[in-house]
Structure 1
Amino acid sequence: MPSSRLAEKIPGATPLVADKLEALGLHRQVDLVLHLPLRFEDETRVTPIAAAVPGETAQFEAMVVSSEIGYRPRRQLVCRVADDSGTLVLRFLNFYPSQQKALQPGAKLRIFGEVRGGFWGSEIIHPRLRVLHGDEPLPTALTPVYPTTAGLTQATLRRLIARALAEADLSETLPDALLARLSLPGFAASVRALHAPPAGLDAAALANWQQPFWRRIAFDELLAQQLSLRQAYAARRARGAPVLAGDGRWTDALLARLPFRLTAAQQRVWREIERDLAQPHPMQRLLQGDVGSGKTVIAALAGLRAVESGYQAALMAPTEILAEQHWRKLSDWLAPLGIEVAWLSGSQKKKDKQAIIAKVSAFETALVVGTHALIEEGVEFARLGLAIVDEQHRFGVRQRLALQQKGVEAHQLAMSATPIPRTLAMSYYADLDVSVIDELPPGRTPVLTKLVSAARRHEIIERVRALCRAGRQVYWVCPLIEESEALQLQTAQETFAHLSSELPELSIGLVHGRLKPDEKAAVMEGFVRNEIQLLVATTVIEVGVDVPNASLMVIEHAERFGLAQLHQLRGRVGRGAAESACILLFEQPLSETARQRLKIIYENHDGFEIARQDLHLRGPGEFIGARQSGLPLLRFADLEDTALVEAARTAAEELLAHWPTHAERHLARWLAGRAELLKA
Structure 2
Amino acid sequence: MPGVGPKTAENLATLNILSVENLLTYYPLRYDNFEVQSVQNAKDQEKITIKGTVMSEPVIARFGYKKNRLSFRLMVNREVILVTFFNQPYLKSKIELGRDLAVFGKWDGQHLRMTGSKLITVDTAESHSYSAVYPTNKNVKKATIKKIITAAFKQYENVIPTLIPESLRQQYHLMSRKEMIREMHFPTSDEQSKLAKRSATYEEFFLFQLRLQATKRANQKRNGLVIKYHNDEIKSFIGQLPYELTKAQKRVVNEICRDLLEPVQMNRLLQGDVGSGKTIVAAIAIYAAITAGYQAALMVPTEILAEQHAQNLAHLFEGLPVNVGLLTGSLTAKQHRILEDQIRTGAINLIIGTHALIQDSVEYANLGLIITDEQHRFGVNQRQKLREKGDRPDVLAMTATPIPRTLAITAYGEMDVSIIDELPAGRLPIQTRWLRSNQNGVALEFVAQELKKGAQVYIVTPLIEESEALDVQNATALYEQLAAYFEPQFKVGLLHGRLSNDDKDAVMEQFKANELQVLVSTTVIEVGVDVANATVMMIYDADRFGLAQLHQLRGRVGRGKQQSYCILLADPKNEVGVARMQTMVDTTDGFVVAQKDMELRGSGDILGQKQSGVPEFKIGDPVGDLKILEIAQHDAAELLKMPHWDDVTDNIPLVAYLKRHQLQTHFD
Give your verdict on TM over 0.5. Answer: yes
1:32 is matched with 23
5+ unaligned residues in a row in structure 1: which ranges?
Answer: 1-9
DSSP-derived class of the 2:57 partner? strand
2:570 to 577, 580, 586: 586
Superposition deviation, residue 481 in structure 1:
1.4
Amino acid at match of 1:521: D
Deviation at 1:366, TM superposition (A): 1.0
The residue identity in structure 2 corresponding to 1:80 is: F
- Please list, as runs of the form range in 1=range in 2, the aligned pairs for 1:101-112 lying within 5 A after superposition: 110-112=102-104
- 1:185 is matched with which residue? 175
Query: 1:378 is aligned with what amino acid?
Result: S
**Alpha-carbon distance in 2 for matches of 1:533, 1:674:** 59
Structure 1 residue identity aligned to 2:176: G
Counterpart in the other structure of 1:113: 105
Judged with a 3 Å threshold, the aligned counterparts in structure 2 of structure 1 residues 22 and 500 are, in CA distance, closer, same or farther, namely same
Q: Distance in 1 between matches of 2:30 and 2:68?
A: 29
- More divergent stretch after superposition (346-355 vs 551-560): 346-355
1:279-300: CA deviation from partner (whole Å, max 9, x where unpaired): 1110011111111011011111
For residue 213 of structure 1, report the CA deviation from its aligned partner.
Answer: 2.4
Which residue is 2:305 aligned to?
322
Amino acid at match of 2:567: I
2:537 maps to 1:553: yes
Corresponding residue for 1:68? 60
Matched, 1:261 2:244: yes
Cα distance change, pair 178–462 in 1 and its aligned pair in 2 (3 A): closer
Which whole-Å CA distance do the structure 1 matches of 2:315 and 2:652 have between them? 52
Kindly indicate whether the alpha-carbon contact (under 8 Å) linking 1:317 and 1:370 is maintained by their aligned counterparts in 2: yes
Q: Which one-letter code corresponds to 2:179 in the other structure? A: A
DSSP 3-state at the match of 1:635: coil
Partners of 1:464 and 1:74 in 2: how far apart? 61
SS of match in other structure, 2:397: strand
Aligned-partner residue type, residue 646 of structure 2:
P
Q: Does 1:148 align with 2:132?
A: no
Asked if the contact 1:512–1:538 (Cα under 8 Å) also holds between the matched residues in 2, the reply is yes
Write the distance in 1 (CA, Å) between the matches of 2:19 and 2:354: 41
Cα deviations by residue, 1:513-547 (Å, 9 ceiling, x for unpaired)? 22111111111111111111001111111121111
Alignment partners' CA distance in 2, 1:543 and 1:671: 42
Counterpart of 2:584? 601
Task: Look up the equivalent residue of 1:390 and give its one-letter code.
Answer: D
Question: Are the counterparts in 2 of residues 227 and 667 from structure 1 also a CA contact under 8 Å?
Answer: no
Superposed CA deviations along residues 310-360 of structure 1, whole A, max 9, x for unmatched, are 221111111222222222211111233252211111223232223222221
SS of match in other structure, 2:148:
helix
Answer yes or no: is the 8 Å Cα contact 1:224–1:671 preserved in 2: no
Aligned counterpart for 1:568 among listed residues 552, 555, 562: 552
Q: Deviations over 1:17-42 (max 9, x none)?
A: 43443232222111222222222222
Match of residue 424, structure 2, among 441, 447, 451: 441
1:381 aligned partner, one-letter code:
Y
**How many angstroms does 1:50 deviate by?**
9.4
Is 1:650–2:605 an aligned residue pair? no
Task: Give the C-alpha shift of residue 46 in structure 1.
Answer: 7.1
Aligned length: 653
Q: Distance in 2 between matches of 1:500 and 1:289?
A: 36
Secondary structure, in 3 states, of the residue corresponding to 1:65?
coil
Matches of 1:580 and 1:350 in 2, distance apart?
43
What CA deviation, in whole Å up to 9, does each residue of 1:191-219 have, x standing for no partner? 21222122xx23xx467xxx432222121
Match of 2:497 in 1: 513
2:149 — aligned with what?
Answer: 161
Q: Which amino acid aligns with 1:143?
A: S
Q: 2:605 aligns with which of 615, 622, 630?
A: 622
Matched, 1:660 2:652: no
Distance in 2 of aligned mates of 1:276 and 1:32: 43
Q: Which amino acid aligns with 2:548?
A: A
Which shifted more, 370-379 or 149-158? 149-158
Cα shift at 1:426: 3.7
Alignment of 1:232-251 (within 5 A): 232-248=215-231, 251=234
Structure 2: segments with no counterpart, 5+ residues: none
Against the structure 1 CA distance between its residues 451 and 646, is the aligned structure 2 distance closer, same or farther, given a 3 Å change threshold? closer
Amino acid paired to 1:115: W
**Structural mapping, 1:348-367, within 5 Å:** 348-367=331-350
Does the Cα contact within 8 Å between 2:219 and 2:265 map onto a contact in 1? yes
Preserved CA contact (<8 Å) 2:103 2:116: no
Contact preservation (8 Å) 1:76, 1:91: no
Report the equivalent of 1:611. Answer: 594
Matches within 5 A, 1:169-180: 169-180=159-170
C-alpha distance in 2 between matches for 1:545 and 1:66 = 70
Q: Is the 8 A contact 1:626 1:632 kept in 2?
A: no
Change over 3 Å in CA distance of 1:659–1:164 after alignment to 2: farther
Amino acid at match of 1:331: A
Identity value in percent: 39
Bigger drift between 344-353 and 526-535 goes to 344-353
Provide closer, same or farther for how the CA distance between residues 309 and 160 of structure 1 changes in structure 2, counting only shifts above 3 A: same
CA distance in 2, matches of 1:253, 1:46: 77
How far apart are the structure 2 equivalents of 1:99 and 1:212?
37
Counterpart residue number, 1:333 = 316
Check whether the contact 2:33–2:128 (CA below 8 A) recurs between aligned residues. no
After superposition, give the CA deviation of every residue in 1:34-62 in whole Å (9 maximum; x if it has no partner): 22222222213376x89977523233455
> Structure 1 residues 367 and 53, CA, compared in 2 at 3 Å: closer, same or farther?
closer
Which residue identity does 1:158 align to in structure 2? Answer: K
Contact 1:80 1:87 in 2 (8 A): no
Distance 2:411 2:43 in 1: 44
Amino acid in the other structure paired with 2:559: R
Post-superposition Cα deviations, 1:440-480, rounded to whole Å, max 9, x if no partner, equal: 11121211100111111122222222322321100001112
Could you state the TM-score of these two structures normalised by the residue count of structure 2? 0.90
Give the 3-state SS of the residue equivalent to 2:341 in structure 1: helix
In the TM superposition, what is the alpha-carbon distance from 1:642 to its structure 2 partner? 5.5
CA contact (8 A) 1:184 1:216 kept: yes
Distance 1:590 1:396 in 2: 34
Within 5 Å, give how 1:484-495 maps onto structure 2: 484-495=467-478
Task: Within 5 Å, give how 1:9-28 maps onto structure 2.
Answer: 11-28=2-19
Match of 1:5 in 2: none
Equivalence for 1:544: 528
2:382 equivalent to 1:390: no
Structure 2 vs 1, CA of residues 206 and 620 (structure 1 numbering), >3 Å: closer, same or farther? farther
Distance in 2 separating the partners of 1:230 and 1:289: 24
- Offset at residue 167 of structure 1 (A): 3.1
Assess if the C-alpha contact under 8 Å between 2:252 and 2:419 holds in 1: yes
Structure 1 residues 456 and 646 mapped into 2: Cα distance closer, same or farther (>3 Å)?
closer
1:93 CA displacement: 5.0
- 1:415-494, aligned counterparts within 5 Å? 415-494=398-477
Which of 41, 54, 57 matches 2:32? 41
Distance 1:178 1:104, change over 3 A: closer
Find out whether 1:522 has 2:509 as its counterpart.
no
Of residues 188, 194, 206 in structure 1, which corresponds to 2:184? 194
Contact kept in structure 2, 1:447 and 1:581, CA below 8 Å: yes
Q: Which residue of 2 aligns with 1:270?
A: 253
Aligned equivalents of 1:23, 1:670: Cα separation in 2 = 24
Q: What's the secondary structure of 1:485's corresponding residue?
A: coil
Cα distance 1:534–1:46, how it changes in 2: closer, same or farther (>3 A)? closer
Q: CA deviation at 1:86?
A: 5.6
1:267 and 1:396 mapped to 2: Cα distance? Answer: 30
Deviates more, 1:170-179 or 1:28-37: 170-179
Q: CA RMSD in A?
A: 3.0
